Amino acid sequence: MLFFSEEFLFIFLPIVILLTYLFHKFISPVYSLFFLSFSSIIFYSIHNIKSVYIILFSILFNFLMCKEIVKNKNKMIFFFTILSNLFLLGYFKYRNFFIENINYVFFSNFQIADLIIPLAISFYTFQQISYIIDVYNDRVEAVSFKEYLFFISFFPQLIAGPIVLMEEMREQISNFLKKDYKIFKYFVFGFFIFTIGLFKKIVIADTIGIYVDEWFVNLADLNFYESWIAIISFAIQIYFDFSGYTDMAIGLALIFGFKLPVNFKLPYKSLSIIEYWQKWHITMTRFFMNNIYVPIAVNFSRKYYDKNLSLIISSIALPSLLTFFLSGLWHGAGWKFTIFGLIHGFAIVINQIWKKYTKIKLNKYISWTLTMFVVLISLVFFRAESFNSSVIMIENLLLLKDLSQILTFKISLFKDNFDKFFFLVIFVFSVFFIKYEKNYSELKDNIKIGYYSSFVIILIFYASIYLVERKQPFIYFQF
């Protein structure tokens, strides 16, 4: 059940809103919270009923282990809990990847398992690991089971984030559990943000995606100009797809009175690759920075603080490359994803060294062009069906095979003139949207919704519903 499906919009969501309100108003806020958690598990189970047992086991196991960590402050229990979560994630998501590589290196013939990756296992595993680390380091207090169950299972952010910290939700949950709390005080603005996300996903991302899917099947047939159109189009698609999901998640959470953290801050306006990762999938970047990059950088910089070259390698290069290697692997169990991560890792290293050891300030247009070039080249490995396909497209983009293509402006991507015109309209509109977009989720406390904005929101809601029959899943569901 997707956020934009008729079943969700016209059956599941209205029922959950109504019953949540009735439980909170006439019975007890505690029952209302349990009902929201139960509804979230139902929402999750519709995707794959077998995955429910895994997430429920994960939630119960981590809750009980956190109680032991609080009681004993034992390092062994802490590491056992973290490793257990990583093992569960690794077993389902990376088992076949490791087997394939072992077979390739050692000429063995281990059987590839017929495993279905549980939906959202990366997201809810990372969220729980963050909580375990925070509890162990006394950054947050351990919570009750009803609070923990809700914290992990809350359906707006369960499937693809944002990856939320307990410190961002604890007070909100406490307020929700008060009898006099107005749970729907952000209802209108929640619907406003949800509709913007719906429009970004259905009207822009899915429309562009129809073309992108077709082009990436036939990468070998694309020339220099067509390859650049294809990869820029995918960059537009993935941004509107994922930021659209995030807006929908933030909007849905606001409908129930909860504020989720912002996950995107207009990343395609970034003037450096460092700035880009401060604005793209912010909560995932925060997880990797806090739990991998910073500990490695701090430990190594202390060890090599008096050696200039060693300091660059240990506190800049090593942490960046390892962090983005793991970030790439998190996105998918394949070497093309690790290359995607390492491209960003090397770019981060260059960016950090440039900032630290030179006083040269580049023109903003040059900075933006260099940043987007890195992003687009990395997205080739992210989107292409295989490593070989990625290489073919890189060769096209960089004119490594046929330099003369730059002299021949030829585009044969479209079936007819109307098809070309329709794509151009959506493409140009999306570019202007990116240029002039505002982060509405950050303005929720001071924006006013009047007659004009209400009319526009209702209009784009119905436009999105009209096109919803295409039902393309969110790109980040696979992670």
DSSP 20-87: HHHIIIII-HHHHHHHHHHHHHHHHHHH-HHHHHHHHHHHHHHHHHHHHHHHH--HHHHHHHHHHHHH
> Taking residues 208-235, what's their average pLDDT?
90
Contact 381, 337 (CB under 8 A): yes
pLDDT score, position 478: 64
Residue with the two structure tokens 């307990």: 166
Token pair belonging to 419: 């098809």
Token pair belonging to 383: 């989107």
pLDDT score, position 73: 82
Percent helix, strand, coil in the chain, to 5, is 75, 0, 25
pLDDT score, position 29: 93
- Gap between the Cα atoms of 99 and 113, Å rounded: 9
Q: Give the residue, 116 or 249, on which the prediction is more confident.
A: 249
Q: pLDDT tens for residues 329-339?
A: 998 888 999 99
The ranges assigned to domains in the chain are 6-181, 189-478
> Taking residues 313-338, what's their average pLDDT?
86
- Read off the pLDDT band of 157 (50, 70, 90): very high
DSSP state, 112?
P
- Read off the pLDDT band of 219 (50, 70, 90): confident
pLDDT score, position 441: 53
Contact 430, 204 (CB under 8 A): yes
> Taking residues 291-316, what's their average pLDDT?
70
185 pLDDT above the threshold of 90: no
pLDDT score, position 44: 92
List the single range of 34-48, 326-340, 404-418 with lowest mean pLDDT.
Answer: 404-418
Q: pLDDT tens for residues 374-395?
A: 999 999 999 988 888 999 999 9
- Gap between the Cα atoms of 30 and 32, Å rounded: 5
Degrees (nearest 5) of the Cα angle 313, 268, 396?
A: 80
Taking the mean position of all CA atoms in its chain, how far away is CA 56?
Answer: 22
Residue with the two structure tokens 């070309």: 420
Q: Give the residue, 464 or 53, on which the prediction is more confident.
A: 53
> Taking residues 297-319, what's their average pLDDT?
68
